[in-house]
């Protein structure tokens, strides 16, 4: 019985204190920092207390600030999560890469980004990827940077001379090895992702046999999947027999 009475007195004291704090213009969360009580209890106790215009304005402004920070806080939290994922993944990679790992990393990148049917060349805008592939051409096929040929694809507002120097400094490919650049015609469209360094095509002269060799490596690495792929393709062979008609793109 004594415990019940003490609990009731404590609750009464909390309610009185909450009323005083509310009349001072504090929000429910601010009150709960001083009184260990649920928000539902505060809603019941304080529902009839009217705030002054000054206090309402303060709480409204405070809520707006919280809401405006919400998306930014979520963005920052997600960035920390992404940074941790990347850091943990980087820790799983042990350098230097083995010879086979290095060879197949380059082969896979070429498979994804390189020319499949003509020449031995790779096109991309990512400086890290291009720098890696230039090194890969040298280490895997013995083709030094000074033998590589280059073409740029840039926008009319970009400085072609400076972009050539950028890629030359990055890769070690002499500026004299850069052929005529393709300048994209102006258009009224807005491109969200700016390619500040343009797009670069790096070609290995007389590299057709090297290119074929890469696809031999890919086939060798994936040969266990080949029977299933071939079986599925035979089953759906009719998809390759559709008549081709001009298409407006």
Stretches where the chain sits below pLDDT 70 are: 1-5, 67-72, 188-194, 244-249
Residue 177 maps to a domain: yes
Domain limits for position 16: 2-50
Long-range Cβ contacts of 125-131 (<8 Å, 24+ apart): 125/195, 125/197, 125/198, 125/199, 125/200, 127/170, 127/197, 130/167, 130/170, 130/171, 130/200, 130/202, 131/170, 131/171
Beta carbons within 8 Å of 179's beta carbon, 6+ residues apart:
149, 150, 151
Residue found under tokens 């290119």: 211
Q: Write the DSSP string, 83-129.
A: HHHHHHHHHT--SSPPHHHHHHHHHHHHHHHB-SSSSSEEEES-HHH
Ramachandran quadrant class, 206 (left: phi over 0; alpha: psi -120 to 50; beta: rest): left
Residue 68 maps to a domain: no
Q: Does one domain contain both 22 and 138?
A: no
Q: Does one domain contain both 133 and 208?
A: yes
Give the model's pLDDT for residue 208. Answer: 95
Q: Does one domain contain both 9 and 127?
A: no
Name the helix (H) or strand (E) containing 30: helix 28-32
Q: Does one domain contain both 121 and 209?
A: yes
Beta carbons within 8 Å of 211's beta carbon, 6+ residues apart:
110, 114, 115, 119, 120
Cis peptide before 96 (omega within 30 of 0): yes
CA distance 186 to 183: 9
Residue 241 maps to a domain: no
Residue 64 maps to a domain: no
Give the model's pLDDT for residue 6. Answer: 74
40, 3, 48, 4: which is closest to 22 by C-alpha? 48
Q: Does one domain contain both 43 and 148?
A: no
pLDDT tens for residues 123-162? 999 999 999 999 999 999 999 999 999 999 998 889 999 9
Query: What's the domain count of the chain?
Result: 2
Residue 172 maps to a domain: yes
Q: Does one domain contain both 146 and 217?
A: yes
Residue 38 maps to a domain: yes
Residue 199 maps to a domain: yes
pTM higher than 0.75, yes or no? Answer: no
Rounded to 5°, the CA angle 189-191-196 comes to 135
Q: Does one domain contain both 11 and 111?
A: no
Ramachandran quadrant class, 144 (left: phi over 0; alpha: psi -120 to 50; beta: rest): beta
pLDDT tens for residues 25-53? 888 888 999 999 898 999 899 988 888 88
Long-range Cβ contacts of 50-56 (<8 Å, 24+ apart): 51/22, 51/25, 52/25, 54/25, 55/24, 55/25
Q: Does one domain contain both 31 and 131?
A: no
Give the model's pLDDT for residue 70. Answer: 65
Residue 55 maps to a domain: no
Tokens found for residue 208:
């057709």
Q: Does one domain contain both 29 and 111?
A: no
Residues in the chain: 249
């Amino acid at each position: 019985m004594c415990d019940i009475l003490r609990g009731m007195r404590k609750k009464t004291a909390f309610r009185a204190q909450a009323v005083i704090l509310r009349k001072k213009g504090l929000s429910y969360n601010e009150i709960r920092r001083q009184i260990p009580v649920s928000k539902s209890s505060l809603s019941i106790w304080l529902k009839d207390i009217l705030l002054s215009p000054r206090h309402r304005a303060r709480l409204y402004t405070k809520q707006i600030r919280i809401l405006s920070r919400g998306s930014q806080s979520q963005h920052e939290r997600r960035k920390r999560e992404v940074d941790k994922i990347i850091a943990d993944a980087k820790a799983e990679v042990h350098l230097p890469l083995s010879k086979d790992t290095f060879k197949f990393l380059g082969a896979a990148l070429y498979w994804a980004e390189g020319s499949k049917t003509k020449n031995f060349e790779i096109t991309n805008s990512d400086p890290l990827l291009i720098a890696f592939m230039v090194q890969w051409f040298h280490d895997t096929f013995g083709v030094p940077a000074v033998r590589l040929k280059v073409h740029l694809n840039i926008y009319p507002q970009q400085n072609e001379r400076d972009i050539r120097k950028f890629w030359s400094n990055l890769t070690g490919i002499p500026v004299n090895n850069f052929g005529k650049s393709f300048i994209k015609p102006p258009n009224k469209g807005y491109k969200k992702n700016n390619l500040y360094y343009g797009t670069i095509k790096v070609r290995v002269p007389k590299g057709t046999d090297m290119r074929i060799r890469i696809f031999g490596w890919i086939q060798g690495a994936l040969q266990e999947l080949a029977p299933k792929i071939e079986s599925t393709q035979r089953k759906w062979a009719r998809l390759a027999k559709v008549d081709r008609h001009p298409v407006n793109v």
